[in-house]
């Protein structure tokens, strides 16, 4: 037989694209359209309905950036269309090939009922099936003219990312708004041909199935009447039935399709627009559920549900009905799909607490899995946190974006730092916006790493980010691929069902231990530093407000614990931990609003803490310690004078000098407190840090060396640091001044000022305090660089085989060498409050109050010694998607801690982030709880969420070893329970005769205790 494949493939493509697809709508009549441009921000339906509309012609430009245009559309179904399926078809002037992040609209009835959204790949609204003919149709359409921020494929900066700079030039040209007949036979033929053609092109040239499909399509096209596509469509479909009905191979891979509409809670649009995106997409989804009984839609992010509940009650009612019918699956159990690295441990716990409670309260459903397809790496505490929140499985897709190494598994057990394991799946289709194309199905099978051990994978399908979610076309593809020779089999089902089947099929799945590090998007640990600082500060202010509110509730008659206010503030912080806000990868508008929100949160939390302390009475000035560790350090009195105080963990003490330690001396550029001696060079670097206790020099070279690198990644500016950034740099060694600014027996400080770059200025105050080996470097930067990153280096004279970085509820060790490509790929990593390096008998920690990104490397010197260098990433200057990212003022502190153990790093990390608070109080209430036992660290103290008055304490083992100890209460204790994160009892905890709760923790174990008051 002659090879006719090219002729057939080209013939089929042309007939499909130019004749079949164009005949899907058999006839159209235009709507009569009027328009009203809403001034400023979006308005409620009632205001739009009462507005004055002007005639609007097709082909007219509309929509300034971030604008809202309301269209009134009127029309009538022709009498002759009786018995046909009639739809409204609206093209707002869609552009490009990305269905999200551009124009989209929500269609309403005239009474305000939302019907369905209009999106680039989902332009129809059902009118009647069948029509009676003569129906009058009238809609009010709320159209959003959102700009396509990445239209130039990340190659150009744009002012469109903020309404303040976007201008008012119309972005779109309205193409058409019609009432149309959907020719169902032609529509189905279109899908038949698409599925077969795509399958054919994916099959191997020597696979007999490929020519079988080709010749079947060729013969079928002979039956297509080009002058009457509609009339000939049934015959063409009949000719294709045999090739469409051939069953899949018995060993064919099974793809579990789950409807999905990944909607970033903010990214290339502000939060206000996400509220509308959710309503549009969810309207589409509930409409599709009415049309397809076998449709299942999985949706995470309780925050988005709450937005719809509060702003679109009719859409919310439809969601509730779909959940009741089993077609809508709440998943994920988190308030938002948060970043996987940067939120603190307690914040990750609260993501689950608030998310799971929402789904239980409103749907009676407890979600079983963690749904995080798009976060930028996942911390190694997740398995334990997820399991303690009642989860059984974990899903993500993002690790497939690795720049260097291919992850070896798709289905596996993920083991966290404490030994907890959770069943995990990475969809091999490598997308969370699948549409069941032939290429996607082939890729899923080709990629799948578990061949021979398992035979199924999951595929989230639907257009995301405002693209409209799943469509009827995708559902039809799934039906055709349910059992089709040459393809994987598709079954649409709930993700819980997939995970149950996958786990049963693959009980001996492999194990991955430790973090899921994404070898990409490493700059998200640093970009938009003020957003990150707002998060860090908010997390610690929340801890502080909860502790002192609990103290007041226990000891101050008449004080009421502020449950509702704390709940609202927590949710605000959790929202801004979304994986494109906290990582710094959103437009300027998002980060401008985030900074304002963090400032508001700080004011409210400071007020709540002040109210709680005031409730304890007034009379003497006291110092309050929110840290879980006893503190002996210098604090400033209200008049600014330094005072050396000793304050118990989670308690208070009078503002009065404790027994003073050896004083600080300042001699020239040398600070000495008897514990450390710090010498500042003429260029402002640290020329020497001597640990006087250990009688050894800490530094192997200049300390606090500020290095300015050129930083232009290959593609994703705000997201990425690529390895070549290290190759070009300038060391900042020209200090404009080095000045002693404080010389007191309790505090010595030297200020270093530098000018550099494009008008940037950095002022650093190097401070040594009596009684502490910690050397603080308070930093104030006025930053005006572009495409640069500023790092601070501490080359330490230790031979450290690994570094330890704090993560949620513990720390993770990473090799300092690069023996393998996996180790080499971790050239930029994340950590929380501290990084520790050490050799047997000696260690050093670098502490920070708002920095996450860092790198650790080591070199061998000519004298044979080893230098291990910790470098903090301080600030970046990417230009896409926010061309002014990080410009302006930054204030933060980092510190060097010589002679530090991991325990010291933990304690000083809390101390730097939880400054002692000075306030008036009448007495000295006992700490709510206190602990004994090394490694036992209290993370949160609060009243129970059910308003029972029980005290809830969350603690963990922080050293990485076993811990034994006791917990004592500052109130009469009637009993104690061990609970899950949602404060539900797991088992009774013992209470000793003296009222103490014995504790025994495995390495990094998290323990939540519910304490009943006597």
Residue of 240, 289, 182 lying closest to 480 (CA atoms) = 240
Mean pLDDT computed over 815-839: 98
776 is catalytic: no
Nearest to 499 by CA among 462, 458, 459, 460: 458
Residue 742's pLDDT is 97
As a whole number, mean pLDDT of residues 536-565 equals: 97
pLDDT at 670: 98
Residue 256, Cα to own-chain centre: how many angstroms? 25
**Is the Cβ–Cβ distance between 671 and 768 less than 8 Å?**
yes
Half-sphere exposure of 317 (CA within 13 A, CB side): 6
| pLDDT the model gives residue 993 | 87
pLDDT at residue 923 in the model: 73
pLDDT at 987 over 80: yes
Q: How many residues does the chain have?
A: 1014
Rg (CA), the chain: 31
Please check whether residue 820 is in contact with residue 836, taking contact to mean a CB–CB distance below 8 angstroms.
no
**Residue carrying structure tokens 């200020």:** 751
- Here the tokens at position 448 are 């799948």
Quote the crossing angle between the two packed helices 184-202 and 438-447, to the nearest 10°.
Answer: 40
The per-residue pLDDT for 311 is 97
Q: Is the dihedral of CA 974, 975, 980, 984 positive or negative?
A: negative
| DSSP code string of 660-674 | --SPPEEETTEEE-S
C-alpha span between 8 and 930 (Å, rounded): 79
Tell me the pLDDT band of 16, cut-offs 50, 70 and 90. Answer: very high
- Could you read off the pLDDT of 829-858 as tens digits, one per residue? 999 999 999 999 999 999 999 999 999 999
Of 110, 129, 123, 91, which Cα lies nearest the Cα of 45? 110
What's the pLDDT at 155?
A: 83
Q: Residue 154 pLDDT > 90, yes or no? A: no
Q: Quick check: 909 and 834 in contact, CB under 8 A?
A: yes
Interior/surface letters 941-974, b for 16+ CB within 10 angstroms, e for the rest: bbbbbeeeebbbbbbbbbbbeebebbbbbbbebe
Strand 411-415 and strand 114-118: the pairing is unpaired
d(CA 785, CA 788) in angstroms, rounded, equals 6
- Is the pLDDT at 241 greater than 90? The verdict is yes
Per cent of the chain over pLDDT 90 is 97
Quick check: 533 pLDDT over 90? yes
SS3 assignment, position 150: coil
pLDDT digits (tens, 9 = 90+) for 939-949: 999 999 999 99
Q: Is the peptide bond before 130 cis (omega within 30 degrees of 0)?
A: yes
Please check the confidence at residue 764 and state whether its pLDDT lies above 90.
yes
The Cα–Cα gap between 15 and 755 comes to 67
pLDDT, position 769: 98
Say if residue 152's pLDDT is above 90: no
Helix/strand/coil for 285 = helix
Evaluate if residue 718 carries a pLDDT over 90.
Answer: yes
pLDDT (tens digit per residue) in 879-927: 999 999 999 999 999 999 999 999 999 999 999 999 999 998 877 789 9
pLDDT (tens digit, 9 = 90+) per residue, 55-83? 999 999 999 999 999 999 999 999 999 99
Amino acid 535: pLDDT: 98
Q: What is the pLDDT of residue 924?
A: 78
Q: Per-residue pLDDT averaged across 248-264, rounded?
A: 97
Kindly provide the b/e burial profile for residues 756-784, where b requires at least 16 CB atoms within 10 angstroms of the residue's own CB.
bbeebbbbbbbbbbbbbbbbbbbbebebb
User: Closest Cα to residue 556, out of 213, 901, 76, 921?
Assistant: 921
CA-nearest of 653, 326, 352, 676 to 496 is 326
The predicted structure's pLDDT at residue 922 = 75
**Closest to 805 measured CA to CA, from 531, 514, 1006:** 514
Residue 921, Cβ neighbours under 10 Å: how many?
21
The answer to whether the beta carbons of residues 929 and 955 sit under 8 Å apart is no
Mean per-residue pLDDT, 218-237: 98
Tokens coding 861: 């010197």
- If residue 767 lies in a helix (H) or strand (E), which one and from where to where? strand 760-769
Angle at 787 between CA 783 and CA 789, to 5 degrees: 65
Whether residue 306 contacts residue 355, with contact meaning beta carbons closer than 8 Å, is answered with no
- Per the listing, tokens 């009222």 go with 995
Decide if 739 contacts 750 (C-beta within 8 A): yes
What mean pLDDT comes out for the span 778-795?
A: 98
Among 148, 290, 374, 630, the active-site one is 374
Q: How far is CA 723 from CA 108, 441, 659, 713, 957, in A?
A: 51, 34, 51, 8, 35
Stretch 796-817: mean pLDDT: 98
C-beta of residue 502 within 8 angstroms of C-beta of residue 411: yes
Nearest to 32 by CA among 121, 134, 136: 136
Whether the full predicted model's pTM is greater than 0.85, yes or no, is yes
Longest dimension (CA), the chain: 102
- DSSP-derived secondary structure for 161-200: GSTTTS-----EE--EEEEEEE-HHHHHHHHHHHHHHHHH
Closest Cα to residue 728, out of 716, 704, 712? Answer: 712
DSSP state of 463: B
**Among candidate residues 391, 380, 376, the one with its CA nearest the CA of residue 422:** 391
User: Which of 502, 490, 487 has its CA nearest to residue 454?
Assistant: 502
């Amino acid at each position: 037989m002659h090879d006719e494949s090219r002729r057939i493939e080209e013939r089929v493509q042309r007939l499909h694209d130019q004749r079949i697809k164009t005949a899907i709508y058999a006839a159209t009549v235009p709507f009569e359209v009027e328009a009203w441009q809403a001034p400023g921000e979006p308005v409620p339906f009632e205001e739009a309905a009462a507005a004055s509309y002007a005639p609007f012609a097709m082909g007219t430009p509309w929509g300034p950036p971030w604008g809202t245009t309301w269209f009134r559309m009127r029309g009538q179904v022709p009498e002759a269309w009786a018995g046909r399926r009639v739809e409204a078809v609206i093209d707002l002037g869609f552009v490009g090939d990305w269905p999200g992040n551009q124009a989209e609209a929500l269609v309403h009835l005239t009474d305000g009922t939302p019907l369905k959204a209009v999106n680039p790949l989902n332009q129809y609204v059902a009118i009647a099936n069948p029509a009676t003919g003569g129906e009058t149709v009238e809609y009010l359409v709320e159209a959003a003219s959102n700009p396509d921020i990445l239209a130039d494929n990340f190659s150009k900066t744009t002012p469109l990312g903020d309404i303040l700079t976007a201008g008012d030039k119309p972005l779109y040209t309205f193409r058409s708004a019609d009432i149309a007949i959907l020719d169902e036979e032609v529509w189905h033929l279109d899908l038949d041909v698409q599925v077969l053609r795509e399958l054919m092109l994916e099959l191997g040239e020597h696979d007999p199935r490929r020519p079988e499909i080709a010749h079947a399509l060729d013969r079928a096209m002979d039956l297509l009447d080009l002058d009457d596509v509609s009339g000939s469509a049934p015959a063409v479909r009949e000719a294709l039935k045999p090739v469409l009905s051939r069953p899949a191979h018995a060993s064919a891979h099974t793809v579990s399709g789950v409807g999905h509409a990944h909607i970033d809670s903010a990214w290339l649009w502000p939060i206000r627009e996400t509220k509308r995106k959710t309503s549009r997409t969810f309207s589409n989804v509930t409409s599709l559920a009415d049309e397809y009984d076998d449709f299942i839609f999985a949706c995470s992010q309780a925050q988005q549900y709450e937005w719809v509940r509060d702003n679109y009650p009719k859409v919310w009612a439809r969601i509730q009905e779909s959940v009741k019918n089993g077609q809508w699956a709440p998943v994920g159990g988190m308030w938002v799909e948060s970043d996987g690295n940067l939120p603190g441990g307690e914040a990750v716990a609260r993501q689950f607490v608030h998310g799971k409670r929402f789904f239980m309260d409103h749907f009676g459903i407890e979600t079983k899995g963690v749904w995080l397809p798009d976060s930028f790496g996942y911390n190694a505490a997740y398995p334990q946190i997820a399991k303690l929140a009642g989860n059984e499985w974990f899903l993500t897709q993002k690790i497939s974006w690795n720049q260097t190494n291919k992850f070896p598994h798709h289905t596996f057990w993920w083991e966290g730092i404490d030994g907890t394991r959770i069943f995990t799946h990475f969809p091999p289709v490598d997308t969370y916006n699948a549409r069941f194309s032939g290429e996607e199905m082939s890729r899923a099978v080709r990629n799948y790493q578990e061949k021979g051990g398992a035979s199924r994978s999951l595929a989230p399908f639907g257009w995301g980010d405002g693209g409209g979610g799943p469509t009827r076309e995708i559902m039809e593809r799934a039906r055709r691929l349910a059992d089709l020779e040459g393809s994987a089999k598709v079954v649409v089902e709930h993700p819980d069902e997939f995970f149950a089947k996958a786990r049963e099929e693959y009980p001996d799945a492999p194990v991955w231990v430790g973090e899921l590090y994404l070898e990409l998007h490493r700059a998200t640990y640093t970009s938009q530093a003020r957003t990150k600082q707002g998060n860090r500060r908010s997390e610690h202010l929340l801890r502080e407000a909860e502790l002192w509110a609990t103290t007041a509730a226990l000891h101050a008659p008449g004080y009421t614990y502020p449950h509702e206010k704390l709940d609202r503030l927590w949710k605000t912080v959790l929202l801004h931990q979304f994986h494109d806000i906290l990582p710094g990868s959103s437009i300027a508008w998002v980060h401008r609003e985030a900074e304002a929100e963090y400032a508001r949160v700080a004011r409210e939390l400071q007020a709540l803490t002040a109210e709680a302390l005031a409730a304890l009475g007034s009379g003497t000035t006291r110092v309050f310690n929110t840290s879980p560790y006893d503190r002996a350090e210098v604090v400033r009195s209200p008049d600014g004078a330094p005072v050396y105080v000793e304050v118990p963990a989670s308690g208070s003490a009078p503002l009065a000098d404790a027994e003073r330690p050896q004083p600080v001396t300042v001699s020239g550029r040398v600070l000495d407190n008897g514990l450390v001696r710090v010498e500042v060079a003429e260029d402002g670097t640290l020329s020497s840090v001597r640990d006087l206790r250990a009688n050894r020099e800490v530094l192997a070279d200049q300390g606090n060396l500020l290095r300015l690198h050129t930083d232009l990644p290959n593609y994703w500016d705000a997201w990425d640091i690529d390895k070549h950034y290290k190759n070009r740099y300038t060391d900042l060694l020209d200090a404009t001044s080095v000045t002693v600014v404080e010389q007191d027996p309790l505090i010595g400080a030297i200020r270093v000022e530098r000018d550099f770059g494009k008008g940037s200025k950095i002022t650093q105050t190097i401070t040594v305090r009596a009684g502490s080996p910690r050397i603080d470097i308070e930093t104030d930067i006025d930053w005006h660089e572009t495409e640069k990153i500023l790092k601070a280096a501490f080359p330490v004279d230790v031979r450290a085989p690994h570094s330890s970085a704090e993560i949620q509820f513990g720390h993770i060790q990473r090799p300092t060498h690069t023996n393998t490509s996996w180790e080499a790929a971790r050239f930029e990593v994340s950590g929380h409050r501290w990084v520790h390096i050490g050799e047997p008998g000696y260690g050093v920690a670098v502490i920070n109050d708002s920095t996450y990104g860092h790198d650790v490397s080591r070199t061998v010197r000519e004298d044979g010694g080893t230098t291990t260098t910790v470098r903090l990433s301080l600030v970046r200057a990417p230009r896409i998607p926010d061309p002014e990212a990080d410009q302006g003022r930054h204030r933060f502190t980092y510190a060097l801690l010589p002679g530090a153990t991991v325990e010291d790093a933990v304690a000083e990390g809390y101390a730097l982030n939880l400054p002692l608070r000075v306030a008036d109080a009448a007495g000295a209430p006992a700490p709510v709880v206190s602990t004994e036992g090394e490694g036992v660290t209290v993370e949160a103290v609060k009243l129970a969420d059910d308003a029972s008055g029980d005290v809830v304490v969350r603690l963990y083992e922080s050293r990485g070893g076993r811990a034994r100890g006791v917990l004592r209460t500052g109130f009469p204790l009637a009993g104690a329970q061990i609970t899950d994160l949602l404060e539900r009892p797991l088992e009774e905890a013992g209470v000793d005769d003296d009222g103490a709760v014995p504790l025994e923790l495995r390495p990094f174990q998290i323990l939540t205790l519910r304490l009943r008051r006597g």
